[in-house]
Chains A and B, each alone.
Chain A
Amino acid sequence: MPKNDHYVIIGNGPAGNLAADTLRDSDPDARITIVSNESMTYYYRHKLTEFIKGKAREEDLTVRPYSVYKDKNIRLRLGQQVDKIDPNKKIIYLKHMETVSYTKLIIATGASPRALPSVSNFSKCLNVLSTYSDALAQIPMINKNKTFLVLGGDIISFKFIRMLKDMGKEVTTLLYSEAFWPFSLEADMAQQVKKSLSDKGVTVISDDHIKSVKKSGEAFDIVTEKGLNQSFDSVYSFLGMIPNIRFILGSGIDTDRGILVDDHLKTNFDDVYAAGDCAQIYNPDMKSYWLSIGWNNAKIQGTLAAQNLLGAHKVINPAPQKILEVEGLKINTSWWESF
């Protein structure tokens, strides 16, 4: 590789960081840039609920402090959103109106909260908790408010509900069967989840849908199709995640639910790779694509994408972890096949 190669990684999660480390280890002289739309450096997202509760400090969230990037001569661009990509010109356009040229690109933008069509009419009234910035902004409100409605079903919602209960809040959850993510629960398992939540003092509503959400002063008036009419201080939505690929659309890079990559994690452009939750990976045996989730999968894929970008020909193993824990239930699932 010539010394003036510029490797750009979009996303500063596990996939992005492992990719950067792999590139740096193999090419000490290359320019490496990570673009992140977060204001905080690489952190443990699953600890955000502990952070909100005040049980974890900012440094406890941090996986890698900023100084490490400097030491490794990796340029970390924080708080910067990619607007679009031109893979033919090999240019990234940032939302703050700056262009960045690359020679090779790895997209590792992860996933973000999904808004189901059934809630789109009142999505402005819904809070989501996905990032450190979300947590930071919402801590005062969460501390202040008493009653919460959680539209949920995804794996993160259960963790959030547990946090609220630990904080002594009154919680009602409306389970959306179509929102169970990253898998569909079998009926008996769903029943066990409901029972577990009820045992913790959570009011669980199922087989119902929100009809309207109206702001009334500081609170929100909720009406469901089955006639529930109640006011809550806050309404949260945890309806699953979708790959962060909006900025890719129209670029020429093939996408479906995620960024379509082959089993080497390469897109339809030779110099563009994708890894982690944003990638939709081809499985030659199944002749289909699968979406990946999870921290460890992202790390594996970030490393492999960087290796292949540097010239290796490694194939991703389409059999990541299948055991997930939901409300105390160990669930063996092959969710990606039916996603």
Chain B
Amino acid sequence: MSDIDIVVEICGSAGEGTISAGEILSRFMSEEGYDIMSFDSYPAEIRGFGKCVAHSRISRTRVLTPGKYSDVLIALNDSHSISQLPVLKEQGVLIYDNKPPKYHDEDKSIAGWLEPGMIPYGIPLNELAIKAAGNARGRNMVALGAFAALFGISQDAFIQSVKRRYGKKKQVVIDNNVDSFVEGFNWTRDNVRKIDFHLFDSSPSDVKRDQLIINGNEAVARGALAAGLHLYAGYPITPATKIMEILSKELPKKGGVFLQTEDEISSIGHVMGAGFAGKRAMTGTSGPGFCLMSEFTGLSVMAEVPAVIVNSQRGGPSTGLPTKHEQSDLNIALFGGSGDSPRVVIAPTSVDQCYQAAVLALYIAEKYQTLVILLIDFFLSNSIKNLDPPPPPDPRYLNANIAPGKDELKDYKRYQITENGISPRTIPGTPGGMFFSTGLEHDERGKPVYDTKTHTLMTEKRFRKHREILKEIPEPRITGWEGQGDIGVVSWGSSAGAAEEAVILACEKGLKVGSFSSMVLSPFPANALVRFCDRFKTILVPEMNYSGQFANMIAPIVTRPVMRLNMVTGLPMASEDILKKIKEIK
């Protein structure tokens, strides 16, 4: 079996089929049993013009990051692709159109920028697409055909995959795509002498046809649906909009309610209303929208109304960098709001964790009658991963409301002080279960009260919930060196994959390095972190923000020196950067 592990980038202009070509390739490779991770980037303006890159890592072993550098660059648009050449590895392969319909201006042709160590394959993409389908729209499929021929991919298997992908389209669409692919494949097979060394298995033994190939947004949406989401209210914003798109179609099919509201304040208002009415509800947004929602976050905590907000972080502050990656909303997720406002923050580290995190978020919000922030980011939202279909959630996650018993309803106290902080909750309309609900501090029946004792007791009660939540959150993931070592890498969110990969590479080089990440950041499993950190001399915290928000959060817990790796490149964290830092510290 081939131990291939390569990164393929397809670069083109919006509307050239760049992203769909990447998706077709990733889907096929997944079906052939490879582990894949894809990450697409596209212009902020979304449609029209601008550079798109479909970036896919394909490997026989488990993929934790999309990879910083590429092994293959397929250039569908020369001028855009030139800027991807710096990330093409030594001996990297370039597939480009050597017979475009007209001359490029000086320096606008990618073939003009070839350097020693690059392996170029000029393919007449445009000509072959026209030959196959009468127009140039199929250039992306011609390029995939060339790729398949060069790298030992079965033509028949790929065609079957394309047919499955376009199964519901008109026959002419299927035919044009297949014909373009075949044209590219045959031309390359007959005319190109392969001089690179990449080859896939011609007959893979681990074919998987039933895997999901989804991004983090879709995983969140699927998780929420599986967890019994009833209402989603949202306002479109990159990079969270896809959640909304999916739920707008899928939620009504399950008898749920989907609302596109006039703004983010209205969205969270609807979610609060649904939560108050006893329904599982969620909204999704990004940093700028989350800022608008922050007044309501306090109400969720104070009135103890379940609410889930998905915040897919992007570059900030303000409207910032809509299509760039960053992890800089941790502070606002943890602390954004007035008063002592304990909130649950769940930050999944991978696409499959996005599914689990959505289930967990709706469960915790309902059971603990509080605000849960599901903190993902641009990379996770857009990162495409193949994974086995997750099993349905444990039934205990589906109906978690702790309702009052008959005796309790005789003298119902909606905000009863309890040992675990959870008060029995009635759904409006429950006979005997009426109560006041307000954003003001209140007594056990919900009536506004401002005295010192009540505020102290109620604050303590709200914080006690976190002590209980801590008992049910997933164990932190700890990998790498198991004994006393040199460097412990503590990471969060989507940077955890890069951290884990860097630790694997460091251990292979004989370094004593370990990795720690927790999906839940608030409440935080501090004891587990302390135990982990006690094993290492130095702690390294890599994160994609400038100020070291997570490092600031854990520094008071940790008794070891905390080194930081902070980047605001707009790109996902790369294992290479963490490994470099590890070596510097060592």
Contact = CB atoms under 8 A, between A and B. Distances in A.
Given A96-B98, A97-B98, A137-B193, A80 B112 contact: yes
A96 B116 contact: no
Interface in A35-56: 39-41
B116 to A, nearest CB: 5
B100 A97 contact: yes
Interface string B110-136: 011011100010100000000000000
Given A80-B114, A137-B193, A100 B120 contact: no
B115 A98 contact: no
A180 interface: no
Contact of A98 (B109, B120, B122): B109
B116 A40 contact: yes
Given A40-B116, A97-B98, A80 B106 contact: no
Contacts of B111: 79-80, 94, 96, 98
A77 interface: yes
Interface residues of A, number: 19
A98 B103 CA distance: 5
Interface string B525-546: 0000000000000000000000
Given A40-B116, A79-B120, A98 B98 contact: no
Nearest to B122: A96
Nearest to B105: A99
B108 interface: yes
B104 interface: yes
A78 interface: yes
Contacts of B96: 96
Contacts of B109: 94, 96-98
A101 B106 CA distance: 7
Contacts of B112: 77, 80, 94, 96, 98, 100
A336 interface: no
A97 B99 contact: yes
Which among B99, B102, B115 has the highest number of chain A CB atoms within 10 Å? B115
Contacts of A97: 98-100, 102-104, 109
A99 B100 CA distance: 13
Given A79-B111, A80-B111, A98 B106 contact: yes
A94 B108 CA distance: 12
A158 interface: no
Contacts of A77: 112, 114
Contacts of A80: 111-112, 114
B297 to A, nearest CB: 54
B217 to A, nearest CB: 39
A66 to B, nearest CB: 5
Interface string A12-43: 00000000000000000000000000011100
B116 A99 contact: no
A101 to B, nearest CB: 6
A281 to B, nearest CB: 31
B116 A66 contact: yes
Interface in A93-109: 93-101
A97 B75 CA distance: 15
B98 A79 contact: no
B122 to A, nearest CB: 7
8 contacts: A39-B116, A41-B116, A80-B112, A93-B103, A96-B122, A98-B106, A98-B111, A100-B112
Given A39-B114, A66-B116, A99-B104, 11 more contacts: A66-B115, A77-B114, A80-B112, A96-B111, A96-B122, A97-B100, A97-B102, A97-B109, A98-B107, A99-B105, A99-B106
